[in-house]
Amino acid sequence: MSLPIYLDYAASTPVATEVVDAMTVALRSPALQANPSAGTHAAGRQAAVVVELARAQVAGLIGADPDEVIFTSGATEADNLAIIGAARFREAQGRHLVTALTEHKAVIESVRYLARQGWRVTWLKPDAGGRIGPDAVLAALEPETVLVSIMHVNNETGTIQDVGGIGSVCRERGVLLHVDAAQSAGRLPIDVRDLHIDLLSLSGHKLYGPKGVGALFIDRERVRRVEPLLFGGGQERGLRPGTLATHQSIGLGEACRLAGERLVPDRSHVTGLRDDLWSRLRDVPGVLLNGDPEHTAGHILNVSVEGVEGESLHAGLGELAVASGAACTSLTDEPSYVLRVLGRSATLARSSVRFSFGRPTTRADIERAAGIFVRTVDSLRRQSPALPPRLPEPPKGAMLVRGEAGSAEAGTWVVFSGWVQDGRVSHLEAQVFGCPDTRLACDRVVHLLAGGGRAQISGLDPLALGQTLGIPLAKAGRLLIIQDALRNCLADWDNGS
């Protein structure tokens, strides 16, 4: 079985060969088996040396000093530590926070946690492209504001924020700025001094490093310290205790070193791929670009599609590894909160596709992906209830019956159309805007009712049909829409007879 074309690099990147090699050496080397905190013997000191080298490599990618970098398990932990830790440490100065409605869940949930503890929060709404200007941040600042958290690159749309301008505003008012740079570290140039960033989070597996490791930059002069969330042996300046994983630290350091060296060609590569794919999709009617077309990181293209249902769209894209939203929420039926904030309807948010590109992506991948996407959209639209039914020529003396229920806005819309002759259904067609399970059920209904009469239509039990087909009970409402459409067919039948 061939693997799908991988176009989900915003969710996770493959580990670079150089990183694997460096980590393998660390795991196999007897000289690096010691605890890097065990400074009383040579083995521990040697492990500490390589960890500090890795810390310097991470710092070098973002223009920081090595002693300002704290190793974490990833950007999510770094976000939590930065936001909750900084707010708690500066609580005496104020209990007001500013962030955006389109932040990553790790930021949003950290801020919500503080709100439950009594902090006040100003939630900024971006423009239609997802941008928040420095003026909007300035207007939200209060005398008691202690922290602003604005991500550098949005993980769903690829929109770049003006963190430098926002940082200047925060610096002038003595407010700390935290930046989630999970999508920008290694993809865009970052200098924490030039951008006036006080705290910055990044993650290894977003930049061709291993999963399970990330880092938090803490400006030594402006922040000095944050309150720890964990307690233990005092590692990482007492801010993130626990035995450091030497091989994970080495892997992150090597990934950051490579990312710094390859930043320009990597960005040129993925931007070219993004532009190529968009040039192939933009002329498809009803394909809408999500995000700011001018201020965008090169590795993400997010589109919504009018006239198709999202779950069926993604089922049709099974040959592609793409996302319907943020990786942490894409397994749910919840429409993207980011796209909803940007003004997309729930239907369009559900029919969004996030393509993201990386070093291994090729032009051939883009060409194939575009072909699969266009064919899938065309196939789903040809089955749309918005179009006239494609019925064969009616038999002599046949009567047309039609029944409709649901709507595209509701997520399920079903139309049955058919010819009735001599008290029986001679031909039946189903047009469906809905999930694959709804489509499956409608196909079975058409098969079961062919040649049947009123009794077969009125006696069909959609829940029993769903159970036979293995459709989850959670989708019972969609099955009932099928039943409503059939009842409307009967009503049409009765009115015409």
How far is residue 226's CA from residue 232's CA, in Å, rounded to a whole number?
A: 16
- Residues 6+ away with beta carbon under 8 Å from 153: 159, 160, 161, 181, 183, 184, 187, 188, 297, 300
CA 418 from chain center: how many Å?
Answer: 42
- Main-chain dihedrals φ then ψ at residue 404, nearest 5 degrees: -130, 145
Whether residue 85 contacts residue 72, with contact meaning beta carbons closer than 8 Å, is answered with no
Catalytic residue status for 489 = no
Ranges of beta strands (E only) in 319-450 are 320-321, 352-356, 399-407, 412-421, 424-433
Residue 236 exposed, middle or buried by CB count within 10 Å (0-12, 13-18, 19+) = buried
- Residues 6+ away with beta carbon under 8 Å from 38: 44, 47
Query: What is the per-residue DSSP string for 420-461?
Result: EETTEEEEEEEEEES-HHHHHHHHHHHHHHTT--HHHHHH--
Percent of residues in the chain assigned helix, strand, coil, to nearest 5? 45, 20, 40
Residue pointed to by tokens 């930043």? 263
> Strand 145-149 to strand 96-100: parallel, antiparallel, or no bridges (unpaired)?
parallel
How far is residue 357's CA from residue 366's CA, in Å, rounded to a whole number?
A: 9
Tokens standing for residue 92: 């005496």
- Print burial letters for 391-415: b (CB count within 10 Å at least 16), e (below 16): eeeeeeebeebbbbbbebeebbbbb
How far is residue 52's CA from residue 246's CA, in Å, rounded to a whole number?
A: 10
How far is residue 23's CA from residue 210's CA, in Å, rounded to a whole number?
A: 9
- Residues 6+ away with beta carbon under 8 Å from 127: none
State how far the alpha carbon of 66 is from the alpha carbons of 55, 60, 73, 466, 474, in Å: 6, 8, 18, 59, 51
Tokens standing for residue 132: 């928040």
How far is residue 162's CA from residue 150's CA, in Å, rounded to a whole number?
A: 9
Active-site entry in 170, 256, 328, 435: 328
Ramachandran bin of 470, using left for φ above 0, alpha for ψ from -120 to 50, beta for the remaining angles: left
How far is residue 196's CA from residue 198's CA, in Å, rounded to a whole number?
A: 6
How far is residue 473's CA from residue 385's CA, in Å, rounded to a whole number?
A: 25
The catalytic site residues sit at 328
